[in-house]
Amino acid sequence: MDPANEWFLFLEKNPHFFEICKGDFFISILEAIEKSPQTIAGLKKRFPEIDEKDLEDIMGLLREMEIVAVSDNPLGLFFSLGQQGKKLLFAYRKTKKFYST
């Protein structure tokens, strides 16, 4: 099966991911936390155009969907890529690569 069909099948199985994949913003957040776990303050530095409260809401939603994982340490809450987020980015990149070659 080609990556495009795999992508559509992935979204059919995970329809709640569809809205996340419509724009680059959510993918950019996932790529940022994939490189290194981030706090809300760290994400705010990376995405200064987004209000801190909105970032908290976004990360809460992504956490509920198990796209991101959260670890608590003395420096605060750190967001990292969860298992669903890893699957999502893998499928997204595979499809993007397919269409860009």
What distances in angstroms separate CA 39 from CA 3, 5, 15, 36, 74, one per listed residue? Answer: 33, 35, 27, 10, 12
pLDDT of residue 94: 86
The whole-angstrom separation of Cα 73 and Cα 70 is 10
**Predicted confidence (pLDDT) at residue 99 exceeds the cutoff of 80:** no
Q: Judge contact between 4 and 95, C-beta under 8 A.
A: yes
Give the single-character DSSP code of 38: B
**Predicted confidence (pLDDT) at residue 22 exceeds the cutoff of 80:** no
Per-residue tokens: 7: 């992508």
Q: Which domains occur in the chain, in start order?
A: 3-100 (1.10.10.10)
Q: Which helix (H) or strand (E) holds 70?
A: strand 68-73
**Predicted confidence (pLDDT) at residue 23 exceeds the cutoff of 80:** no
pLDDT of residue 1: 75
